[in-house]
Structure 1
Amino acid sequence: MSISQRILLGCVLFFAQGALAAQGQILARPKATVPGISYGYWEYLPQGYDDNAGASYPLVIFLGGQGQEGDGTASVAGLEKLMAVTAPPRLIRNGRHFPFILISPQRFNAWWGDNEIDAILEFAKTRYRVDPNRIYLTGLSAGAIVTWSYAVAFPQKLAAIVPIAGNGNGIPICNMWNVPVWAFHGTADGTVSQWGSIDPVNKLNNVCNPAASPPAQLTLYQGVGHDSWSQTYNGSAGHDIYAWMLSHSL
C-alpha cells in the first residue's frame, strides 16, 4: 500500500470514527461551523443512526427561553446556556437516550421569527435523515410562545407540538386545528399567565370550526410557578411527552 493510500485510508477511518462517535451523544455545533445554518445549535443523533444508513428518523426541535439566549458559540455565554435548564439537551448530556434526532438552536434573543424556525427545520431535513412526516416542536417560556406561533404559520409541517409555560393568545389559533397539542403550565406562574395555555386550548377544542382533531390537551400543575418544564421534560410528573409526540405523524 502506498503512502498516499495509507493517508486516504486513515482519513476515511478518522471520519468514520467521528461519525460513529456522534451516535447517542449531544454535540455542540457552534455558530459559523456548519454550512447552511447561521446559528449555533446542539445536535443529538440517536443510537444506531450511523449504522443504519437507509433509515429515517423523527426530528424534535427544542427552543429555550430568554434565559437560554446566547451568541451560539461553544462557551458559557453561548450554547452552554441551553444546558442550564432541565430539558432534552441536558437530559441527554446526563445519560438519557431518545429514538429521535434533536436540534436545539440558539439565537441572540429567544424571539425567533416563524421563517427562522422554518429555515432551521428545512436545514435539518437536508443535513440529517429526517422523516418529514414526524417533525415535532417543543419549547419553554419564550420558546413555547414561538412554538405556538410557528404551528399557526406552518401547521402542515408539524406532527405535534408541546409548548410549556407559553402563550398562544393573539394569533389565529384555528389555523392549527389539525396539529396535535399537549400544553403544560403552572397555575402559579407569575411570568407567563396560565391563561396563555388555557385560552388557546379552549379555543381549539370549543371555538374553532373545525374543532381541534385530535382534541388539544392541557396539563396544569397546581401551585407551580414558571418552571413547569423540568417535571415535564424529565418525566417526574408522570407524563411521557416523548412517546406522545412520536405517536403522531402527518
Structure 2
Amino acid sequence: MRFWVAVALAALSLPSAVDAKKTPAQPPAVEGQTVQAPVAEGGFPYLLFIPKGYNESGADRWPLVIFLHGSGERGTDINVVKKHGPPMLVEKNPAFPFIVISPQLPEQSDTIGEYWPVPPLEAILDHAMKTLRVDPSRVYLTGLSLGGIATWEWGTTHPEHFAALAPVAAFGDPKKACNAKEVPVWAFHGDHDDAVDTRGDFEMVDALKKCGAAPRLTIYPNTDHWSWVPAYNDPALWMWLLEQRKPLPAKPAK
C-alpha cells in the first residue's frame, strides 16, 4: 500500500501537459471500480476505476490506463475481468495512481470474431476523454494474451492516442510496427509460453528497432503463458508508464 501511495503522489506531482485552469468542470465521479454500460450500440461494457483523491484533486488531469483482457475473460460476467492485471490490482489498491478502463469482449460469435475489434475501443476512449479528467499526454495501453495482441494492433493502427504500449504474451504485425516507432514500448513474455510463441514479441521489437525505435522486451525465464503475473506485479512497469508522455500539438500563436 505504501508503494502505491508514493506512486500516486509522484503521479500528481508531475506537471500536467494541460492547462488546469482551462479544464472544463466535471461532476464528481464515483471513486473505486464500477461497471459501466457500453457507450455506443454494439459496444463493450467496461470496468471503470477512479483513483482515491480524484474528486479532491480539483482540475488536475490524471493518467489513463486501458487494459485489454485475454480470451478466458470473454463473456457476460464482467467481474471475471478482475482476475488479472490492473482491474485486479485496483481492487486491492485504491490509491493506484491511474484511471483504469477495462472493457469486456463478448463470447466469440459470427459477428464478434476472434480478436478485439478496434472501433468499439475507440468509442470508449473518446467517451473517456470527453467525460473524465484524463491527461491526453498520458494515455497508456496494455493487455495480456488476446488483449496483448490487441494492444499491438490498436497501438500500431492508431499510435497517435498513446504515450506508451505494454503488450504481454502477445504478437503483432511486424509490417505495421513502424507506425508506432515514436511510441515507447515495453513488451513482456515467458520463455516457456506454449500458447503464444515468444517469437511474436521478439519480431515486433526487432521490427521497431529497424525503424530506429528503442523498445524494451522482458523475457521471464522458466515462465509459461502467465507472464502477466510478474509483469503487472512489478512496480517498475507502473513507474515507467508514468515517465512516458506523448508530445501534444503546439498551441497556435496568438
- Residue 33 of structure 2: aligned partner: 26
- Residue 135 of structure 1: aligned partner: 139
- Is 1:47 the counterpart of 2:45? The answer is no
- Is 1:95 the counterpart of 2:102? The answer is no
Q: Deviations over 1:62-118 (max 9, x none)?
A: 0000011122xxxxxx11110222x11111112352111111011214722222222
- Residue 223 of structure 2: aligned partner: 224
Q: 1: CA distance between counterparts of 2:135 and 2:47?
A: 19
SS at match of 1:225: coil
- Select which of 88, 94, 116 maps to 2:120: 116
Residue 203 to residue 117, structure 1, CA distance change in 2 (3 Å): same
SS at match of 1:48: coil
SS at match of 2:59: coil
Q: Which runs of structure 2 are paired with 1:85-234 in the superposition (5 Å)? A: 85=84, 87-95=85-93, 97-109=95-107, 111-205=115-209, 207-208=210-211, 211-212=212-213, 215-234=214-233
- Residue 5 of structure 1: aligned partner: none
Q: 2: CA distance between counterparts of 1:39 and 1:172?
A: 26
Question: Contact (CA 8 Å) 1:152, 1:171: kept in 2 or not?
Answer: no
- Is 1:56 the counterpart of 2:61? The answer is yes
TM-score w.r.t. the length of structure 2 is 0.79
| Matched residues, number | 214
- Residue 242 of structure 1: aligned partner: 238
TM-score w.r.t. the length of structure 1 is 0.80
SS at match of 1:219: strand
- Residue 9 of structure 1: aligned partner: none
Question: Contact (CA 8 Å) 1:165, 1:185: kept in 2 or not?
Answer: yes
Q: 1: CA distance between counterparts of 2:226 and 2:121?
A: 24
Report the Cα offset of residue 41 of structure 1. Answer: 1.0
Residue 44 to residue 160, structure 1, CA distance change in 2 (3 Å): same
Report the Cα offset of residue 51 of structure 1. Answer: 1.3
Residue 128 to residue 37, structure 1, CA distance change in 2 (3 Å): farther
Query: Kindly, what percent of the aligned residue pairs are identical?
Result: 36
Which amino acid counterpart does residue 95 of structure 1 have in structure 2?
A: N
Which amino acid counterpart does residue 27 of structure 1 have in structure 2?
A: T
Question: Contact (CA 8 Å) 2:44, 2:120: kept in 1 or not?
Answer: no
Question: Contact (CA 8 Å) 1:69, 1:108: kept in 2 or not?
Answer: yes
- Residue 82 of structure 1: aligned partner: 81
- Residue 17 of structure 2: aligned partner: none
Q: Where does the alignment leave 5 or more consecutive residues of structure 2 unmatched? A: 1-26, 108-113, 247-254
Q: 1: CA distance between counterparts of 2:41 and 2:63?
A: 20
Residue 219 to residue 116, structure 1, CA distance change in 2 (3 Å): same
Report the Cα offset of residue 171 of structure 1. Answer: 4.2
SS at match of 1:51: helix
Question: Contact (CA 8 Å) 1:36, 1:123: kept in 2 or not?
Answer: no
